[in-house]
Amino acid sequence: MSTPLAVRPILFDSTFEQIPADEGETTEELVKTLRGIIETTSADYGHAVRSVHAKSHGLLQGELTVPEGLPPELAQGAFAKAGTFPVVMRFSTNPGDILDDKVSTPRGLAIKIIGVEGERLPGAEGQSTQDFVMQNAFAFTAATPKAFLTTLKALAKTTDKAPGVKQALSAVLRGTEAAVEALGGESGTLKSLGGHPKTNLLGETYTTVVPLLYGSYYGKIAVVPVSPELVALKDAPVDLDDKPNGLREAVNTFFATTGGEWEVRVQLATDIGKMPVEDASKQWSEEESPFVPVARIRVAPQPAWTDARSAAVDDGLAFSPWHGLSAHRPIGGVQRSRKPAYEMSSDFRGKFNGCPMHEPSSLDRLPE
C-alpha cells in the first residue's frame, strides 16, 4: 500500500513555459559556440570529445530498482512500474577541453537507464532508454539561454589556452570560493571557472538543476549517495598533486574493492511562483518540497575507468535529457536549447571519430 506524499504537487500547465521571440536565434548562437569548442579540441586531440563535460572520471555499470508501492504522484514515467533495469553512469567535470584535475571545476553525472517503456520524446522514437543529465548543484548558473550564452562565450575563449595559467587561476578561485563559503555563501560562477574545492566527486549529490516533466507534474531529479562508504566521501579531500588524472584514480581505487548505492529522488514543484520553469538559476526550497526517493542504484566493485571502457561509453554513447520518455520532457528555456546542442555534439563526434552514436536496447558487460 502506498504512503501519501507529505506535500501536494501542482499539475504542470503549458502556460508555465514562456518562449521568448528570439529564443531560436539564441539557441543557434549557443550551438555555434559549442561547435567552435568541439572543433578546436578535435583539431588538438585528433579525436572528438564532448563540447562540455569532455573528461570522464568514472564509467560504471549497475542496476536501478524501482520499488513496489510508490504513491501515484511518484509512480510516473520511468518510475511508473516496479522493476530492475540496467544503468550506465558517467562521472565527469564540465569543461569542453581535457584538463589537469588541478583545474578544479564542477562535477557532472549522466545516467542512462535501459529497457524503459512508454511514449517517447521527439527524436527518441524506437529507443528504450531514459537519460538524466546532472551536476553537483541544485540550480543552473544562468537563468536563461541568453544569460548562459554570455558565460559560454567567455569560457569558449579559454579553450586551448595555457593550461598552466588555468591551474594557477583555479588555485586563486578556490581560495576565493572558500572565503565566500566561510561567510555562509556559495558562488556557482567561481566554481564553474575553476574554483571548485578539490574533493572526491563520489561524495557529491547530483541533480538535474533544471526542471523536467514528471508525468502530470514537474520537478527535479537527484542522485544521492546512501551507502556508508560513499557518504563518508562527502567533502573528502582528494590528492591531485602530480596527478593530472587524480579524480579518475580516486574513483578507480574506490570501486576496485567497494560497491556503492545511491537513491534516485524527485523534488516535485508545489508553487509555480517559487519553483519557476523559465528561471533555471532558481534553487527550489526543500522545506517547501523535499526530495523523496523513487528508486535505488546499486553498483558492484568493478574497474571504473579503462581505455576500453572509455571507448565504449565516452565514444559509443551519447547522454541527453532528450533521450527518454514524453513523461520526462525537459522544460524551460535552458532545457529547450539543449536539444539541438546535444544533437550537434553527438553527430560531430560520431562523424569525426567514425563511430556513430547508438542507443542500447540491452546492456552487455562493459569492457574491463
pLDDT, tens digit, 9 for 90 and up, residues 307-326: 999 999 999 999 999 999 99
pLDDT at 192 over 70: no
pLDDT tens-digit readout, 165-177: 334 434 433 343 3
Can you tell me the mean pLDDT for 337-359?
92
Q: State the chain's mean pLDDT as an integer.
A: 89
Residue 79 · residue 294 · CB < 8 Å: yes
pLDDT in tens, 125-137: 999 999 999 999 9
Distance, CA of 232 to CA of 235 (rounded, Å): 8
The predicted model scores a pTM of: 0.90
Q: What is the pLDDT of residue 2?
A: 55
pLDDT (0 to 100) of residue 97? 85
For the chain, percent of residues with pLDDT exceeding 70: 89
Give the pLDDT confidence score for residue 160 in this predicted structure: 61
**Where do the domains of the chain lie, and which CATH numbers do they carry?**
14-353 (2.40.180.10)
- Residue 254 C-alpha cell reads as 574506490
Residue 268 has a pLDDT of 98
Q: Is the pLDDT of residue 185 over 90?
A: no
Amino acid 168: pLDDT: 41
Instruction: Categorize the per-residue pLDDT at 366 as very low, low, confident or very high, splitting at 50, 70 and 90.
Output: confident
Residue-wise pLDDT tens digits, 209-224 = 999 999 999 999 999 9
Cα–Cα distance measured from residue 219 to residue 9, given in angstroms and rounded to the nearest whole number: 9
pLDDT exceeds cutoff 90 at 180: no
